[in-house]
Chain A
């Protein structure tokens, strides 16, 4: 408690004890279990929520607050919940109040599929249980711990109040990697009023709290996102897109090899990677391997070790190089079509100039799998913001897919995350000249396998919902 008091600037509005703990900063636990829950008995569910918000009852897990956060003395187990629109209805929130929630949330993730690129393999019709019945998912509860026995204990406690429709287990891979081999979670929004020791020295503009929490100033000058009714209850809540994203790493590595083989025949390959530069990639490697890594680095925007491609044409860097402090410009080394530039174009040139920095999202994720039977593996991601339409969906439908932000990439999709198919996929590599090298024929590497739009309610909202009658 003491550190957080010191860390938060004294603004009279911001109340860390009212904000769930997984929103403004990431936990350090290595494992997570997400429970997809159905409210089968309204009264029992409400009693659980009341006890969980209260946090004094022994057999009910306490909701972790932002105020509980401590770097030096972290909680062994953290517990947070997200509630779907169907969940609010199941808990008995009256219709006139339900009508004050944003339409994206009310429709839910499965019905927003086209906007999110969830068609074909990723279509909700193909999602496995429990995501094949999205209207039954009322709550997604998340348990964070390093100790797996804690998961079972909490799951039993939760199971007494809800029907558990399904679970998903996640874990951090060594060195903060994801299955594609990249170091992840380097760039995150930082918030005014919130001290985050992980982000000391980052020079990106600070994001106003309204980027992620309801009830605060946003990045759009003058614009406020609506707080559902009653406003004093739902302020300090956030909206989350929970995504189960399968990562097709075999196809990715196979494509890198195919691309490298093609590039080795391309007379312009030395504009992409000068002769001898292989020595500065992954500690020195052969030409084919080096070209594979260049393709991987340009597709992502970072080398797999985290070095920004914008700052370094080689993965191996002497001395200190910031992983976060840089910007894009016309003619940047980092391709406009790379995953990172699409997800966060920073202050660089974009068509929708008014949108620079306005679509920032908090991303928290852990890897899952491989499944012992199917080998399926991927990411359990949480994409958190104050407004789906202005942030998560805006990024997915105009930037990740479609590429409206730069005329050189418009009509193409994100090479890593995008809704691609070999017949139409295109990605342009930058070179040391004005010439770009066109890659094509790659499939969808990330396939949606489930998810839900959940609200991460403030503590006052949880108490309010637990007190509903009828």
Chain B
């Protein structure tokens, strides 16, 4: 169990005006989807976990998925540049389950739990400052890009504070730079999602590998045009339209294998895109349930909710997310976290 004070501090550092303690502090707005996951024929070689074994039914194991906007506002701003989330729960035999939680950012903001708290406290949204024309010209003359103008109706944003923080702390730069240009996807199924942390998977022969997971959309990655005025609400309707009737959407689960020299316990450092990459399976999204409260908003995902065959790495951020998610779930009255009855 991590220091409860630190856990509480992190959750509270994420709270922002316009959010709600009755909701998730970040990834507040989301939509639940159901579907199935079918492992690839090669997946069992690399991981003995149940959802990677040949499935009993041809359609695979049932999954609950929640897509979300990263920002902690109760009001939807789908069209704003923002990190998106994709939390997946695999339903296994005997009522068991396991989660894989991913986001469109490929790298985390901080290497440890304490540095993350520092970042979260410094990078809180602040009143937007539109740069004056003269400030912008000064940027151009310095061969820099000015900050984007605020969106209509946007009064606060984290950009200024996050950049100022990253300018003092090089470890925050990969995530801050990537986040600053991340844009808005035209659909939740037109983005790729990274589980960011390193996990340890056990293969059929007992071999352990340090890996990172990514969901790659079969439809391809596509963002909205940043030149156009952003729409506030379109992503949930898009998903309902795409999954109407018998229509489906798919993601492939790609697994990168870490090597000597990779820092397995630091998710603020990316792995280059040419690590060995294994195709682990296909997720098919089928249905947007009507009861979103039960199928999405009350669910409590947790990146530590793993199953035999997948272990957490020593990443301290992954470790504290276990307790942070649990604390947040209890606070908002979610269905108890998978860990509420389990000693951590």
Contact = CB atoms under 8 A, between A and B. Distances in A.
B260 A424 contact: yes
B303 interface: no
Interface residues of A, number: 12
Contact of B205 (A411, A420, A425, A438): A438
Interface in B251-276: 258-261, 264
Interface in B181-239: 205, 207-208, 210
Nearest to A444: B260
B205 A424 contact: no
A182 B240 CA distance: 70
B1 to A, nearest CB: 26
B210 A423 contact: yes
Contacts of A424: 210, 258-260
Contacts, number: 21
Nearest to B314: A423
B260 A419 contact: yes
Contacts of B208: 423, 440
Q: Is the interface of A mostly helix, strand, loop or mixed?
A: loop
B272 to A, nearest CB: 15
Contact of B207 (A120, A411, A440): A440
Interface in A99-123: 119-120
A228 to B, nearest CB: 34
Contacts of B261: 119-120
Nearest to B205: A438
Nearest to B259: A424
Contacts of A419: 260
Nearest to B276: A411
Contact of A420 (B207, B258, B260, B264): B260
A120 B259 CA distance: 14
A419 B210 CA distance: 17
Interface in A407-452: 411, 413, 419-421, 423-425, 438, 440
A156 B207 CA distance: 57
B205 A421 contact: no
Contacts of B210: 423-424
A420 B259 CA distance: 10
Contacts of A438: 205, 207
A427 to B, nearest CB: 13
A413 B207 contact: no
Nearest to B257: A424
A178 B210 CA distance: 35
A175 B68 CA distance: 69
A440 B210 CA distance: 14
A240 to B, nearest CB: 28
A421 B260 contact: yes
Contacts of A440: 207-208
Contacts of B205: 438
Interface string B263-295: 010000000000000000000000000000000
B262 to A, nearest CB: 8
Nearest to B261: A119
Contacts of B259: 411, 424
Contacts of B264: 423
A361 to B, nearest CB: 24
Contacts of A413: 260
A424 B210 CA distance: 8
Contacts of A425: 260
A108 B302 CA distance: 50
Contacts of B207: 438, 440
Interface in A263-320: none
Nearest to A114: B261
Nearest to A420: B260
Interface in A232-283: none
- Central interface residue in B205, B210, B260, by most chain A CB within 10 Å: B260
Interface in A391-420: 411, 413, 419-420
A440 B258 CA distance: 15
A446 to B, nearest CB: 15
A411 B208 CA distance: 16
Nearest to A412: B260
A119 B259 CA distance: 14
Nearest to B258: A424
Contacts of B260: 413, 419-421, 423-425
A438 B208 CA distance: 12
B321 to A, nearest CB: 21
A438 B260 CA distance: 17
A343 to B, nearest CB: 20
Nearest to B262: A424
11 contacts: A119-B261, A120-B261, A411-B259, A419-B260, A421-B260, A423-B208, A423-B210, A424-B258, A425-B260, A438-B205, A438-B207
Interface of B: 205, 207-208, 210, 258-261, 264
Given A411-B259, A425-B260, A440-B208, 14 more contacts: A120-B261, A413-B260, A419-B260, A420-B260, A421-B260, A423-B210, A423-B260, A423-B264, A424-B210, A424-B258, A424-B259, A424-B260, A438-B207, A440-B207
- The 9 closest A-B CB pairs, nearest first, are A424-B260, A421-B260, A423-B210, A424-B259, A423-B264, A419-B260, A119-B261, A440-B207, A438-B207
